[in-house]
């Protein structure tokens, strides 16, 4: 019971963070779940938790969704999420996390040094989805990986949060199927995933109330700070 309460408190706090920044909760929740349950349980359980977290963000921001971006993202994410889910038991995770850490920190530096960054085209989101689908299936969450691309096309606040969450949702649903095929969805995983759902829904609702009260400039700064923090976490192997 104490373990479930600790996990629920972490899930609430990090769902709130995801609702404000559009990402980050899964990246920070994975180390918590790993300590509490072990990596093989933590990754699929995190995916179950993210289903409710992302689903609630999609619903709360449903009027601002960019459906074409979501479609292109899913085109690349779905097949790569299947491949990553089936490879989870054998993939070397530590080197991959450090590569992602370097990438995330480099993205923030690029955004600051490049005064007029070129916005990606909508079809290019298939490649973003492919990289995200593979990485997320192996690591549980690489939400910060997609953040700079959604920001670069001019999305902010509700449009950004809802569109990113809907894109991630297509990936997480695919991962659930792949984990099931790989016998990673045990009774324990389903039980804990269900127990943490109320905390993630409440965190998303509170975060939605907060994001409407901050400016676009502060919002982008908050996202970039989150990218740096996530990059450092990946580099040090947490």
The per-residue pLDDT for 166 is: 93
pLDDT digits (tens, 9 = 90+) for 136-176: 887 767 766 777 888 888 887 788 888 988 998 998 899 88
The per-residue pLDDT for 148 is: 80
pTM of the model: 0.73
Residues 209, 195: Cα–Cα separation, whole Å? 24
**Contact indicator for 128, 141 with CB cutoff of 8 Å:** no
Least confident of 77-86, 111-120, 193-202, 224-233: 111-120
pLDDT digits (tens, 9 = 90+) for 69-114: 999 999 999 999 998 888 876 766 677 677 767 877 877 787 677 6
């Amino acid at each position: 019971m104490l373990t479930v309460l600790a996990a629920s408190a972490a899930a609430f706090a990090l769902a709130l963070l995801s609702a404000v920044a559009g990402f980050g909760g899964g990246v920070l929740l994975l180390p918590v779940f790993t300590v509490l349950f072990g990596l093989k349980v933590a990754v699929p359980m995190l995916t179950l938790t993210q289903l409710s977290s992302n689903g609630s963000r999609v619903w709360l921001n449903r009027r601002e969704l960019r459906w074409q971006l979501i479609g292109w993202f899913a085109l690349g994410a779905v097949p790569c999420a299947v491949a990553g889910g089936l490879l989870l038991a054998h993939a070397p995770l530590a080197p991959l996390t450090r590569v992602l850490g370097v990438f995330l920190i480099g993205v923030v530096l690029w955004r600051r040094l490049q005064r007029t960054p070129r916005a990606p085209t909508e079809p290019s989101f298939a490649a973003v989805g492919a990289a995200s689908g593979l990485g997320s299936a192996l690591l549980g969450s690489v939400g910060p990986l997609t953040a700079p691309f959604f920001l670069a096309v001019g999305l902010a606040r509700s449009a950004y949060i809802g569109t990113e969450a809907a894109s991630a949702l297509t990936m997480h649903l695919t991962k659930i199927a792949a984990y099931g095929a790989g016998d990673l969805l045990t009774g324990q995983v389903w039980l804990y995933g269900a127990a943490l759902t109320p905390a993630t829904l409440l965190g998303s609702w509170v975060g939605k109330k907060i994001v409407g009260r901050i400016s676009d400039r502060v919002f982008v700064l908050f996202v970039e700070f989150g990218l740096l923090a996530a990059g450092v976490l990946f580099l040090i192997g947490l």
